[in-house]
């Protein structure tokens, strides 16, 4: 069974850095991409980008390019989303999700709530 387990909720101050994680199990890393999706409280889903952990091939949404970094460590089956300088507008739930590339996101992590407040 495919499972994605995300790191826990974070409370940060503006300007701080942060790296959250998404660990996958129950599937072949060579078969799936991992994507990140943002959901601001009370708002819709926003596609941030996607990575192929086997070779770290990454594509970003233009809306998030340069604002976040997506990475992966294939040896431990984990993908990451990181910020170098958080803003209050980064307050949101962040989901990771897997895809084979031909079916949308078929498995989702439980979400990581990031709160940025002074």
Rounded to the nearest whole angstrom, what is the least distance from the CB of residue 84 to other proteins in the complex? 22
Q: Which is nearer to other proteins, 103 or 118 (CB)?
A: 103
Residue 26 region, left (φ>0) first, then alpha (ψ -120 to 50), else beta?
left
Q: Determine the Cα angle at 93 with ends 77 and 111, to 5°.
A: 40
Q: Does 53 bind other proteins (CB under 8 A)?
A: no
Contact 61, 48 (CB under 8 A): yes
Given candidates 25, 63, 89, 117, which one binds other proteins under the rule CB under 8 A? 63
Only segment of 11-19, 21-29, 74-82, 95-103 that touches other proteins (CB under 8 A): 95-103
112's tokens: 């990581």
| Site membership for other proteins, residue 104 (CB under 8 A) | yes
Q: What angle do CA 80, 40, 27 make, to 5 degrees?
A: 35
For the bound state, the minimum distance from the C-beta of residue 106 to other proteins, rounded and expressed in Å, comes to 5
By CB under 8 A, name the one of 109, 112, 114, 116 that touches other proteins. 109
């Amino acid at each position: 069974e495919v499972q994605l387990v995300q790191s826990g909720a974070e409370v940060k101050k503006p300007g701080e850095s942060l790296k959250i994680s998404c660990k996958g199990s129950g599937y072949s890393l060579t078969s799936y991409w991992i994507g990140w999706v943002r959901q601001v409280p009370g708002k819709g889903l926003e596609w941030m980008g996607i990575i192929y952990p086997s070779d770290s091939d990454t594509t970003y949404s233009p809306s998030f390019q340069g604002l976040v970094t997506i990475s992966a460590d294939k040896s431990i089956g984990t993908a990451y989303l990181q910020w170098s300088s958080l803003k209050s507008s980064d307050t949101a739930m962040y989901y990771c999700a897997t895809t084979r590339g031909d079916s949308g996101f078929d498995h989702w992590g439980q979400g990581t709530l990031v709160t940025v407040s002074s």
